[in-house]
Amino acid sequence: MSADPWSRPTLEDLKVVLESIGKTDPEHERAAERLDLSVPAEITTSRGATIAAMTREISRFGIGLFHRGSINPGEVTVKMASDTREYRYLVKLEWCRPATNGMFLSGGQFLGKLDPE
């Protein structure tokens, strides 16, 4: 684990947390198929704080995130980038709960796509 408590979690951090919690409960009915997706992301809260994160999964309707530090539910901006493009989305963060090693898992629904900064 990194010495900086607000640094972006690594793929190894994500692997450890996911192994500790097991797979998603199969009884949860999902409106859309979720795909595993582990890419760097940034979450900007309504108060302007920027939190480095990793995505965990994504669907047509929402996104799962992995980060250090708790985030209050509400509207946030999530920024992800590929080699050639940047993507920004307005997300209604619906939940955030602690995982292991000071990490947090959160998830929310997409409210809309935003223009790149």
Predicted local distance difference test score (pLDDT) of residue 82:
73
Q: Where are the domains of the chain?
A: 11-19+34-114
List per-block mean pLDDT (blocks of 10 residues) for the chain, which spans 117 residues: 57 65 51 70 94 91 93 95 85 94 92 87
Predicted local distance difference test score (pLDDT) of residue 39:
85
Predicted local distance difference test score (pLDDT) of residue 1:
42
Q: pTM of the predicted model, to two decimals?
A: 0.73
Predicted local distance difference test score (pLDDT) of residue 61:
92
Token couple for 101: 């090693």
Question: Which long-range contacts link 93-100 to residues 24+ away (Cβ below 8 Å)?
Answer: 93/43, 96/70, 96/71, 96/72, 98/70, 99/17, 99/20, 99/21, 99/66, 100/16, 100/17, 100/20
Class of domain 11-19+34-114: mainly beta
